[in-house]
């Protein structure tokens, strides 16, 4: 006859902290909070497990290691970026949406463009990155050649550089003086318009 008792000090399986409603989402959420406050270098799987209220080994079950967690964050970020770029009506709008994404998802933004922190060859990341790239390319190619030049690829690099540079400077508070209390998205829209006119 088997006993229903468990060894002293051992928790029953149903009581183990690993059993979490949505552990993956909880760990990702905790990681994003840490990154937003202290940057990616402050991440520790053990600390995230404590924050999520699960065993220290639980995060590794989903992400394997720190690089796996950061890669998952980057993949999620590129997926969100692709979605927001698709909502833009034109190339200038895509740039505004890019800046908006960076402001609304600063932790994702920090990780997405730090390849040294990410796992090479990750399919989910590669797919999400390609979707975001396609969304930007579609916005560029929708502009007639007379408005962007004959080389759509270089036009895409120019558009990405403008939006990404502005967003990066904004998040690092280097534009606090020039932007002041103005809406950053409107400032970017005006900047993009000024540059487009300069090229006419």
Res 184 pLDDT > 90: yes
Would you list the domain boundaries of the chain? 15-63, 66-198
Q: By percentage, how much of the chain surpasses pLDDT 70?
A: 87
> Where is pLDDT greater, at 194 or 1?
194
Q: Which numeric CATH code is attached to 66-198?
A: 1.10.357.10
Q: What is the pLDDT of residue 37?
A: 94
Q: Note the pLDDT of residue 21.
A: 59
pLDDT of 31 above 60: yes
CATH code for the part of the protein at 15-63? 1.10.10
pTM of the predicted protein model: 0.83
- Over residues 123-136, the mean pLDDT reads 97
3-state secondary structure the chain: CCCCCCCCCCCCHHHCCCCCCCHHHHHHHHHHHHHHHHCHHHCCHHHHHHHHCCCCCHHHHHHCCHHHHHHHHHHHHHHHHHHHHHCCCCHHHHHHHHHHHHHHCHHHHHHHCCHHHCCCCCHHHHHHHHHHHHHHHHHHHCCCHHHHCCCHHHHHHHHHHHHHHHHHHHHCCCCHHHHCCCCHHHHHHHHHHHHHHHCC
As given in the structure block, the two tokens for residue 147 are 């408005």
């Amino acid at each position: 006859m088997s006993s229903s008792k468990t060894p002293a000090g051992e928790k029953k399986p149903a009581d183990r902290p690993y059993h979490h409603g949505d552990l993956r989402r909880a760990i990702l959420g905790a990681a994003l909070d840490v990154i937003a406050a202290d940057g990616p270098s402050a991440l520790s799987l053990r600390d995230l497990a404590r924050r999520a209220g699960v065993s220290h080994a639980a995060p590794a079950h989903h992400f394997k290691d720190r690089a796996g967690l950061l890669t998952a964050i980057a993949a999620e970020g590129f997926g969100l970026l692709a979605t927001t770029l698709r909502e833009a009506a034109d190339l200038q709008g895509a740039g505004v949406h890019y800046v908006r994404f960076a402001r609304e998802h600063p932790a994702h933004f920090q990780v997405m463009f730090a390849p040294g922190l990410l796992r090479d060859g990750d399919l989910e990341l590669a797919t999400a990155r390609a979707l975001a790239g396609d969304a930007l390319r579609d916005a560029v190619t929708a502009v007639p050649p007379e408005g962007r030049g004959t080389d759509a690829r270089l036009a895409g690099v120019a558009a990405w550089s403008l939006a990404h540079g502005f967003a990066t400077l904004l998040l690092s508070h280097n534009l606090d003086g020039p932007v002041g209390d103005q809406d950053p998205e409107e400032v970017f829209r005006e900047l993009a318009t000024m540059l487009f006119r300069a090229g006419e």
